[in-house]
Amino acid sequence: MSFDGYKTLIKEGDVVIVYLTPSQIYSVEALPKITNKKGNRVDNVFQTPYGALRCGDLIGARFGTKVQLSKGWAYVLQPTPELWTVTLPHRTQIIYTPDISMIILQLEISPGSVVVESGTGSGSLSHALIRAVKPHGHLHTFEFHEGRAATAQEEFKQHGLSQYVTVRQRDVCERGFGDELNDTADAVFLDLPHPWLAVPHAIRALKSTGGRLCSFSPCIEQVQRTCLALLKAGFQEMQTMEVLQTQWSVQQRNVPVVNLEFVRTEKAAGEAEKKERETAKAVVAVPPASLPGHTGYMTFATLPPLWARTLQMSLNETDIDAEGDAE
């Protein structure tokens, strides 16, 4: 229940982030007992490199404080969507925070927005979307895998977010988002193998006053087909981008300095040959040796409001023709 709003004290059943180092961050549940794989009730003990943590003991502690471990200590933090993204149990490939933040800003989501997401996957993006739309907005998230849809539903309930999200199990490419969502959405997010098949459904779901769409695809071929489908449907402001995060490493470097002044004058008699080599010390930021990995291309587009749609479609026809000629 620890995801909805700022909390001070850890309550029973809360998800708690155990923060050891920037690369050792875990999530646990503040429960004294859990059911293990064999179906027996056992003590809920989390093993860390710095000793065991009895999760039941966390109940009543303050979020943001240190807890003592046998060989060190850890911070216990209230989860945010960003912390959840780095600790969640993977059921699929997930979307990470640099991409997520760009998606939310580009889709122009703010409290009160109605957002349609497909597919739910591991719920990494969903948590951030829910944070952005609550308290009076709503997330409709679709997942075609039965098990994953059920797990996501259970997870939202456990995190106290059920009132802001509806999980549906459906193949949206085949069956669409459902008539009940027609003309309701401010933004649609597609993370599907064939996003172009879902474009007509997205148009039906988006409000008649227009809205934003994002399609997330790892391959450029998918992007091409989606862009063509979007153009044909009259979308405008189409833009495809990828967000690459580079990590600069901060180092202390010694830079040799060459001094050539001394060669201009003759050496005074008796003066020993000076070694004209100095070094300058500096703290520098070194760029990474290789580019960081590609996650996915994000294609953003605006569906104009109904009154401006036909105009956009007539305009786009040119681009589609031009595209056809070039092939």
Partner 1 sequence: MEIMDSDRNTIKIGDYVVVQRQGYTKLHKLKAHSKLILGSFNIEMDNIVNEKYSDTFQMKNTPGNKKHYILEKVQQINSPVETLNIEKSGSDNRHITNDNEISQVLTKEDIDKLKDEELNSNNIVGQLVNNSKTFSMKTEYSQEKYIKKKEKKYFEYVQIKRPTIRILAQMFYRQDPTKTLGIRIDDLSQILAYANIHSEGNVVLYDSGTSGLMSAALMNALGHSSTGQLIHMHPGNECQRNAFIAMQFPKEQSERCINVNLYSVLRCFYQQKNTFQEQEEIEEPEAKRQKTEETSAQKKSWQLDNERACKILNEKVDCLIITAKEHPVNIVKELIQFLNGNRNLVVFRRTQK
- Measured CA to CA in angstroms, residue 293 lies from 57, 85, 290 at distances of 40, 18, 9
Which distant-in-sequence residues (6+ apart) come within 8 Å of 26 by Cβ? 17, 18, 20, 46, 48, 87
Q: Which of 53, 95, 128, 190 binds partner 1 (CB under 8 A)?
A: 128
Q: How far is the CB of 193 from partner 1 (least distance, A)?
A: 26
Task: Identify residues 5-44 at the interface with partner 1 (CB under 8 A).
Answer: 5-6
Cβ atoms within 10 Å of 159's Cβ, excluding its own: 20
Is residue 287 part of the contact set for partner 1 (CB under 8 A)? no
C-alpha distances out from residue 47 to 9, 13, 28, 69, Å? 23, 19, 11, 10
Nearer to partner 1, 5 or 193 (CB): 5
Q: Does 124 carry a binding-site annotation?
A: yes
The only residue of 285, 290, 291, 293 in contact with partner 1, by rule CB under 8 A: 285
Question: For 25, phi and psi rounded to 5 degrees?
Answer: -125, 130
Q: Which of 210, 225, 238, 240 binds partner 1 (CB under 8 A)?
A: 210
Which ranges of the chain does DSSP label H, i.e. alpha helix? 81-87, 97-106, 124-133, 146-158, 172-175, 195-205, 220-232, 306-326
Minimum CB separation from partner 1 for residue 261, in Å? 30
Angle between helices 195-205 and 220-232 (to 10 degrees): 40
- Are the C-beta atoms of 115 and 128 separated by less than 8 Å? no
Omega into 89 within 30° of 0, i.e. cis? no
The reply, when asked if residue 2 is annotated as ligand binding, is: no
- Between 130 and 149, name the residue whose CB sits nearer to partner 1: 130
Q: Is residue 240 involved in binding partner 1 (CB under 8 A)?
A: no
The minimum distance between CB 77 and partner 1, in angstroms, equals 6
Closer to partner 1 by CB, 27 or 169: give it: 27
| Residue owning tokens 């790892």 | 218
Return phi, psi of residue 230, to 5°: -65, -40
The reply, when asked if residue 122 is annotated as ligand binding, is yes
Using the rule CB under 8 A, give the single segment among 96-104, 152-160, 166-174, 180-188 that binds partner 1: 96-104
The only residue of 88, 100, 139, 230 in contact with partner 1, by rule CB under 8 A:
100
> Toward partner 1, which CB reaches closer, 4 or 29?
4
Please enumerate in sequence order all residues whose Cβ is within 8 A of that of 149, keeping only pairs 6 or more positions apart, or say none: 120, 143, 167, 168, 169
Say if residue 125 carries a ligand binding annotation. yes
Note whether 119 binds partner 1 by CB under 8 A. no
**Which residues, including other chains, have CB under 8 Å from residue 154's CB and lie 6 or more apart?**
none
Closest distance of CB 255 from partner 1, Å: 16
> Rule CB under 8 A: is residue 305 a binding residue for partner 1?
yes
Q: Is 131 in the site for partner 1 (CB under 8 A)?
A: yes
Q: How far apart are CA 29 and CA 44, in angstroms?
A: 8
Give the C-alpha separation, 327 to 323, whole Å.
Answer: 7
Annotated binding site for S-adenosyl-L-methionine: 122-125, 143, 191
Annotated binding site: 122-125, 143, 191
The binding site for partner 1 (CB under 8 A) comprises 5-6, 62-65, 77-78, 80-82, 97-98, 100-102, 104-106, 108, 110-112, 128, 131-132, 134-136, 209-210, 243, 248, 283, 285, 304-305, 307-308, 310-311, 314-315, 317-318, 321-322, 325-326
